[in-house]
Amino acid sequence: MSTSNTPTETEMLAANAAGVTRAASILTEGGLIAMPTETVYGLAADARNDHAVARIFEAKGRPRFNPLIVHVADAATAQRYVAWSDLADRLAQAFWPGALTLVLPLRPGSRLSPLVTADLPTLAVRVPAHPLAHELLTQFDGPLAAPSANPSGKISPTTAAHVAAGLAGRIEGILDGGACPVGVESTIVGLFEEPVLLRPGGLPQEALEHCLGAPLKVHQSGDPLIAPGQMTSHYAPGASVRLNASDVGPEELLLGFGTVDCALNLSAAGDLTEAAANLFHHLHALDAKVPKGIAVSPIPEIGLGRAINDRLRRAAAPR
Ligand code: AMP
Ligand code: MG
């Protein structure tokens, strides 16, 4: 069973037209590219490609499917993916391109991979200011999901050498844009009933407050629900979920993994990247059949299996 990350040759791509063209074509083929932004290097994949996005989590060794920031070339493109508002427009006019990420309601029919939003009804979106990121987004001509280009739990990379030290052999390419000028992650603001600072970052809170003309509410970890459709609304199927199932009850549907007779298979080949890519799609599809319960085959607790099991455990938790 192919549960481990196959080594990949990592191309170092120069900061010129040929490098950007090569990076764009790798992304179009579903590969992973570390791209310089003004904040930190991002690990980019086509945000519409389930398999490519699953590989971001695999390459970073992330134990969870947390939502990723989608990078786009301009505010007009952002509006294809999120429900826009006057407030979004004011902040975008003031700070895009730049180190500000906006969290807004996901537009239905956006066709982004549900792995990008961790199946949330909201989307984090940003227009980076770095000229190479801008050129790459323009040539690629689509949305790029990109968390920081470092292994999970390690320091965010601000040079191509940092990226290579952490991810060489796991991604297809690194576009070398030198050192990132800002050097810390973007500031994240959620625009719900009122704007909320979700993460401090490269754009100072004071600049945002000056633009908004009011103090910004700051989200403290452990705060209850800050907006409808945020973390607690994380998708839980209507059906009950039973993990590590070796049999199927009469009113259950089996979500399989590996060679098993089942209603839907996450990966008949036992490939964890394929399983991650299918996870949210298959849960929704089985749930729509209104079974009493969804039984799930055992998934190995290694690599992407950890993130898959984390998500399934939460779907199975008492509610
Ligand atoms: P990273 O991609 O690791 O640099 O971090 C992305 C950050 O954006 C994380 O702190 C996420 O929790 C946050 N984020 C992304 N999407 C959303 C969303 N839809 N709602 C709230 N926070 C988000
Ligand atoms: Mg990070």
Domains contained in the chain, CATH given:
11-218 (3.90.870.10), 240-316 (no CATH)
**Ligand 2 center to residue 121 CA distance, Å?**
21
Structure-token pair, residue 88: 């979004």
Average confidence score pLDDT of the chain: 93
Cβ neighbour number for residue 245 with a 10 Å cutoff: 20
* Ligand 1 pocket residue status of 125, Cβ below 6 Å: no
Instruction: Give CA–CA dist 231/224, Å, rounded.
Output: 10
pLDDT tens digits for range 84-120: 999 999 999 999 999 999 999 999 999 999 999 999 9
Nearest CA to ligand 1 atom 21: 103
pLDDT > 70 in the chain, percent: 94
Mutate which of 41, 81, 103 for ligand 1 pocket (most atoms within 8 A of beta carbon): 103
Nearest CA to ligand 1 atom 14: 67
* Ligand 1 pocket residue status of 33, Cβ below 6 Å: no
pLDDT tens digits for range 71-85: 999 999 999 999 999
What's the confidence (pLDDT) of residue 304?
96
Cβ neighbour number for residue 5 with a 10 Å cutoff: 16
Nearest CA to ligand 1 atom 1: 147
What's the confidence (pLDDT) of residue 239?
86
pLDDT tens digits for range 209-255: 999 999 999 987 766 544 433 443 355 788 899 999 999 999 999 99
**Nearest Cα residue to 50 out of 140, 119, 106, 134:** 119
Nearest CA to ligand 1 atom 4: 147
In contact, 226 and 192? CB cutoff 8 Å: yes
In contact, 171 and 32? CB cutoff 8 Å: yes
The DSSP secondary-structure symbol of 232 reads: G
Residues 6+ apart with CB under 8 A from 91: 100, 102, 189, 191, 195, 208, 211, 212
pTM higher than 0.85, yes or no? yes
Reduced to 3 states (helix: H, G, I; strand: E, B; else coil), residue 120 is coil
**Ligand 2 center to residue 23 CA distance, Å?**
21
Which atom of ligand 1 is the closest one to the Cα of 117?
19
Residues 6+ apart with CB under 8 A from 213: none
**What strands lie across the sheet with 33-35, from one edge to the other?**
11-13, 173-175, 33-35, 42-46, 144-145, 69-71, 122-126, 100-105, 187-191, 195-199, 217-218
Mark the residues whose beta carbon lies below 5 A from ion ligand 2: 148
pLDDT tens digits for range 170-213: 999 999 999 999 999 999 999 988 899 999 999 999 999 999 99
Instruction: Give CA–CA dist 250/255, Å, rounded.
Output: 14
* Ligand 1 pocket residue status of 66, Cβ below 6 Å: yes
What's the confidence (pLDDT) of residue 235?
59
